[in-house]
Amino acid sequence: MEAVEIKKITVSEIEKLQKIGIQTFLETFAEVNSEENMKQYLKDKFSINKLTSELSNPNSEFYFAIRGNEPLGYLKVNFGDAQTELKDKNGLEIERIYVLKEFHGAKIGQLLYNQALQIAKKHNLNYLWLGVWEENHRALNFYKKNGFVEFDKHLFKLGNDEQTDLLMKLTLK
């Protein structure tokens, strides 16, 4: 079995990113959200234009967990002004860690998380933070296991459905 590598995503790989982004979001949330809300969210957040803009932002970075030429999951982190909230130059936001369902339990998420942690340490940042849906127990358990603690909440809109995200932080210094 080939080893899993973590590789920075470039604009030339945008279609692969779009495909895995849509697939992992559907696998994670389709069962518990309306089809209409899911379609609208995917159209807004995973359009080629939106992804190109995000990939071109110097304060956002995307990484694949890849085996051979196949992405198994991906990570998106944001610095400074690219962050969805806090916008603190001393923190790094993990906006997305998604892994294809067939690879859940294979430590792919941990590899992607470790990449985010290395980035934060390399840039000498004080903390990592993220938002996670309060009903996504798998993700909540993963982040708690990695030392994150809840510090706030915010509303997340998926189409016309308002959901609560828990904001979690891991202090590094």
Task: Give the residues across from 169 on adjacent strands.
Answer: 129, 149
Indicate if the pLDDT at residue 20 is higher than 80: yes
Q: Which domain covers residue 86, as residue numbers?
A: 5-171
Q: Give the closest residue to 95 by CA, choosing from 75, 110, 113.
A: 75
Query: According to the model, what pLDDT value does residue 55 have?
Result: 96
Average pLDDT, the chain: 95
State the Cα–Cα distance between residues 101 and 138, nearest whole angstrom. Answer: 12
- What residues have CB less than 8 Å from 120, skipping those under 6 apart? 92, 127, 128, 172
CATH number of the domain bearing residue 65: 3.40.630.30
pLDDT of residue 136: 94
Percent above pLDDT 70 for the chain: 99
| pTM, rounded to two decimals | 0.95
How far apart CA 100 and CA 12 sit, in angstroms, is 21
Partners of 117 in beta bridges: none
Alpha helices for the chain (secondary structure H): 14-29, 35-45, 48-56, 108-122, 137-145
* Cα 149–chain centre separation: 17
Asked if pLDDT for residue 128 goes beyond 70, the answer is: yes
Per-residue pLDDT tens for 46-65? Answer: 999 999 999 999 999 999 99
pLDDT score for 82: 97
> Are 72 and 4 a contacting pair, CB within 8 Å?
yes
Question: Which of 103, 102, 109, 101 lies closest to 132, judged by CA?
Answer: 109
- Domain count across the chain: 1
Residue 158 — pLDDT band, cuts 50, 70, 90? confident
Q: Give me the mean pLDDT over the 120-126 stretch.
A: 97
For the record, the structure tokens of 56 come out as: 């071109």
The set of catalytic residues is 143
